């Protein structure tokens, strides 16, 4: 068996993209929801969020981009469950291709669709007047966005391999993902409260949001970008490794 089968990677990737583009509902909701957050939260809190070093909308934008990519990637990771329930996974698993090709194709497909959404939010944010710190900053922003996407696909793969159906999914969203997002400084700074700050340091999402904020806006970030960047890379590698491990062990 070839370790990496280009056709298999391509098929798995193309399939995700086609499904994504065909599902108009998903396309709309995944863009509309973060847009609402950005517009309503942004304009609502703008006037009272005066303790910040700058405009609240500028503060909020990186948080919403992170959120959009996280949710979308996690969803594609978890959609393996769909394939399991609809039997398609069996068809993929008996093909004469390596599992790693399947994982890579799936991950690339999931990350691509998530990044499409992330970029749409980014463009809208820039349109709303969110400043860009520098060209290098923008470049770094894109890199961090990609890393966030891969990490979340990995997380989704772990969930999909361990879960039997979708019943546990809302539970995980509400009990794990939402609190972590709230404590990531996506919506408000965590630095004014020592407990919150301490929790933030063990929350991988904090480094994603803080890194993205430092790279894109260049203000209100707590840690230097390179520290955020290293943590985000390490977390991404870790999530991809365990995601692939669990997926390769899963049975159709």
Question: Can residue 36 be called a binding residue for other proteins (CB under 8 A)?
Answer: no
Question: Can residue 29 be called a binding residue for other proteins (CB under 8 A)?
Answer: no
| Cβ at position 149, least distance to other proteins in Å | 21
Q: Closest Cα partner for 244 from 43, 110, 127?
A: 110
| Cβ at position 105, least distance to other proteins in Å | 10
Instruction: Between 92 and 183, name the residue whose CB sits nearer to other proteins.
Output: 92
Instruction: Between 1 and 241, name the residue whose CB sits nearer to other proteins.
Output: 1
| Interface stretch with other proteins, choices 2-10, 39-47, 168-176, 213-221 (CB under 8 A) | 2-10
Cα-flanking dihedrals φ and ψ of residue 50, to 5°? -95, -15
| Interface stretch with other proteins, choices 8-16, 31-39, 130-138, 154-162 (CB under 8 A) | 8-16
Number of residues located near other proteins, criterion CB under 8 A: 27
| Interface stretch with other proteins, choices 55-63, 93-101, 110-118, 204-212 (CB under 8 A) | 93-101
| Interface stretch with other proteins, choices 17-25, 40-48, 127-135, 149-157 (CB under 8 A) | 17-25
Among residue numbers 57 through 86, which ones bind other proteins (CB under 8 A)? Answer: 83, 86
| Cβ at position 243, least distance to other proteins in Å | 21
Question: Can residue 166 be called a binding residue for other proteins (CB under 8 A)?
Answer: no
Q: Closest Cα partner for 155 from 204, 92, 211?
A: 204
| Interface stretch with other proteins, choices 12-20, 54-62, 69-77, 185-193 (CB under 8 A) | 12-20
Positions touching other proteins (CB under 8 A) are 1, 5, 7-8, 10-11, 14-15, 18-19, 22-23, 83, 86-97, 251-252
């Amino acid at each position: 068996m070839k370790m990496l089968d280009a056709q298999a990677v391509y098929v798995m990737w193309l399939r995700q993209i086609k499904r994504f583009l065909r599902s108009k509902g998903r396309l709309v909701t995944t863009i509309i929801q973060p847009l609402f957050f950005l517009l309503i939260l942004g304009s609502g809190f703008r006037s009272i969020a005066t303790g910040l070093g700058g405009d609240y909308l500028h503060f909020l934008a990186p948080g919403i981009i992170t959120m959009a990519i996280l949710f979308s990637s996690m969803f594609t990771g978890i959609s393996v469950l769909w394939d399991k329930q609809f039997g398609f996974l069996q068809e993929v698993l008996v093909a004469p291709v390596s599992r790693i090709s399947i994982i890579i194709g799936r991950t690339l497909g999931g990350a691509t669709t998530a990044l499409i959404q992330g970029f749409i939010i980014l463009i809208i944010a820039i349109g709303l007047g969110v400043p860009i710190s520098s060209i290098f900053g923008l470049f770094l922003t894109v890199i961090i966005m990609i890393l966030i996407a891969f990490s979340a696909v990995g997380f989704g793969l772990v969930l999909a391999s361990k879960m039997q159906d979708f019943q546990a999914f809302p539970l995980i969203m509400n009990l794990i993902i939402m609190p972590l997002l709230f404590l990531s400084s996506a919506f408000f700074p965590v630095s004014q409260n020592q407990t919150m700050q301490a929790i933030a340091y063990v929350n991988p999402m904090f480094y994603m949001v803080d890194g993205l904020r430092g790279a894109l806006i260049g203000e209100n970030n707590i840690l230097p970008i390179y520290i955020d960047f290293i943590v985000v890379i390490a977390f991404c590698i870790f999530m991809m490794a365990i995601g692939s491990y669990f997926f390769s062990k899963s049975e159709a």
